Structure 1
Amino acid sequence: MPMHQEKSRIPGRARPFEKSQKPTPLWLKALLGRELAPSREEYTAVNQALWVGDYNMDGLVNWMFEADAGKRKAQIQQAIQCGPDRVKDCPQEIQAFFKTLQPAPTWIDFDLIEEGIRFTHSSGLAAGYVLRDLALMGGYLLSGFNQSLIMTGALNKGTSRRIAETGKWWIDCTEPHGLRPQGPGYQSTLNVRLVHSLVRRGLNKRADWDHSHWALPLSQIDMVATYLGFSVVMLVGLRKLGFPILPRESTAVIHLWSYACWLMGVEEQWLVKSEAEGFVLLNHTYMTQSKPDENSKELAEALSKEPLERTYPRFERAQRKLSYHLHLGMSRYFLGREKMQQLGFKDQGIPWLTLASNVPRPAIYCAGHFLPGMRPHQQRRGRKAQLAMLTAMFGDEDHGLIAPDRNHPAHIDTGN
């Protein structure tokens, strides 16, 4: 069936509307100010957005392929790094794309973004545990979300490198002033956005991509679910670890990732202003996802073994095993026994090691966060731990973002 006819249908990956209409507990309804389940209009909107990509970047990529794709890609990347004004004879198409980013929308509050960054530093390794062992591992339960990963080779290529590259983007976005134009987070986000568009274009043309079931690769809703993982899921996970989060801190984290993912190409209609709004939208995105399958299990197993490939300066073998058990236990703590079994893990009982490590976390966090004069020290110590984890993931490899090889749908032969 032609693509334009498919777009009028709900894709096969989506769950039926009737299954989304579960009653909301009274306490949660009072907290959210509404039912958690989507209305018919909301359900239709999220499913139709499965057919929508990134209009501005996809247009730029289409121009790139019109002639000398390697040269034009290099010009785009130079504009990302230095700004279009620094590109010699910068093509009008590149200038037009960057005009969609500048000036920044009036709703963006860079001071609030910096508050979100400082809070992220304060959370230290706990943020990494939540994002890896809850958001990422839990995301593998959603097989509709996984399909683009699978078809770019995620099942049989270096998991450690892929996870490290995601961590690098997160670190760049949470650098002080990192999301300012030409800041590290700004550059990384636009580079990832370019790769996403190239993947979307490549997979969209493949005969084995089933549009009737999967809709568009890396759609708006897939990107929305990802950004809510870095914001809403992180906040929920930190609370489960016992961290008290102030309302202003919650708002700052949401604002930080709303801007980062606006830069990533998420349309403004899908950006949220509060954690409650984000929690509701996250639930709505779940309605577009299929249940876990065999690929979900393979992705989960590969992620669980990633710590066994890390590099440590001392006692490497012992630290690898300790990290492996801590991360697996964290996933068990966050997701529960039933969901871990859905991902193919055998029941290993109560994760005592993880629970024991979690006991002092809230007290240590509160002491550093609320005692007078301690918070800057906590932020420095937390950031140092986050950077050390990233270094362990990369090992001796370059701390860079994805560089698609010839077998990757985002690869472009530059002639080098």
Structure 2
Amino acid sequence: MKFKKERKVLLIIVISAAMAVISMFMTDNSDKLFCSIERPEPGEETQVKRINVVGEDGESITSVDVEIAPRIMSQDEAAVCFEKAYEEIAGIMCGRNKNLEHVTSNLVLPETAQRGVVSLTWYSGNYELINYNGNVNNISFLENECQNVELKLIMEYEDYKSEYDFTVTVYSPEYGTGDRRKIQAQKDIEAAVSSSRMDGNINLPQYIADSKVYYEESEKPVSPLLFVLLGGAAILVVIIADKKKVKDNAIKRKKELLYDYSEVVSKLTLLLGAGMTTRMAWHKIAADYKDNIEHGKAVRRPVYDEICKTDYNIQAGISELKAYEQFGKRCDTREYMKLAALLQTNIRKGTKELRRLLEEETADAFEKRKNMAKIKGEEATTKLLMPMMMMLMIVMAIIMIPAVWSFQI
């Protein structure tokens, strides 16, 4: 028993020592030092890396977030990529067709190749027969009828371009027995109607596809004028409703922007007072909003959506001046344009009084918010006026009708 205990203790010591040695190697900073960064390959996503800048004495100077775009291929590499893209397209463009010499159904014409590296543009010599999406319109073809169509493909990558030509032979669709009889019936009847223009009676074909057929007349259709009128009325209603919806949404959005203005300015003032920079405070507001939305703690508000969009723009490389200017224009209210101007002025001139100006703006904003709350209360009272009048009329009717009946009796 004692021996087993000693073995366990020895095993623990060995494992602890091994982990200590591994930890020493893992914390060796000499392996982490580098002087170059490897770019992502073409077609891969842009990477964001944080690089620690270290001085000769081993002390950290700063940390830099760097966006690394994918590497751009050389001309020779682009040519090889175009060849691979051609092979990729040749393998899928036929779709359900056996080959391009006998096409009866739609083709597959992709917009990109090689994992999105190469952009593809298609041109058709006959857009009525084959459009740029690869859809084939051969429904009117007779059996075994065919027609050639020239397709041109332009591959593009950065400044490099290459052209390819394809010859496609389109045949009549491959129908089942039922579909073939329907098309044959339509063609035979149309031929009979068009060939007897001078006769009073039209003799319809008695046999279609070697089968005896009979005819019966459908019920008289509703007047097309009715559908025209109903369609015109529906279009008018849709247009009016759409315009009203757009207008109502714009008014609602503007009210929500104005109502949230005091809250946004207050948050900015608080975060700046806590020692944050304007950029950090803006990112903090956007991050908190996104976190609350993800966890269901808040509902979407227009101003915070615009703040998040501005934050994304800054992270994407747009300057803060331009991003705040676009923010003010998108909000399109005097208050937010003033806020954007204050932030821009602070960036340009380093205004030390930004916090005081924001505090004054916060006080004015809360005062306006109180006034908006009063207006909302008055609007609610006005909306209740009609139901209250209707209730009053009902009560008066309940009282007056029995009284009138009693006088008549």
Q: Work out whether the TM-score is over 0.5.
A: no
Larger radius of gyration: 2
Q: Between the two structures, name the one with larger relative contact order (CA 8 Å, sep ≥ 6).
A: 1
Normalising by structure 1, report the TM-score: 0.18
Report the structure, 1 or 2, having the larger helix content. 1
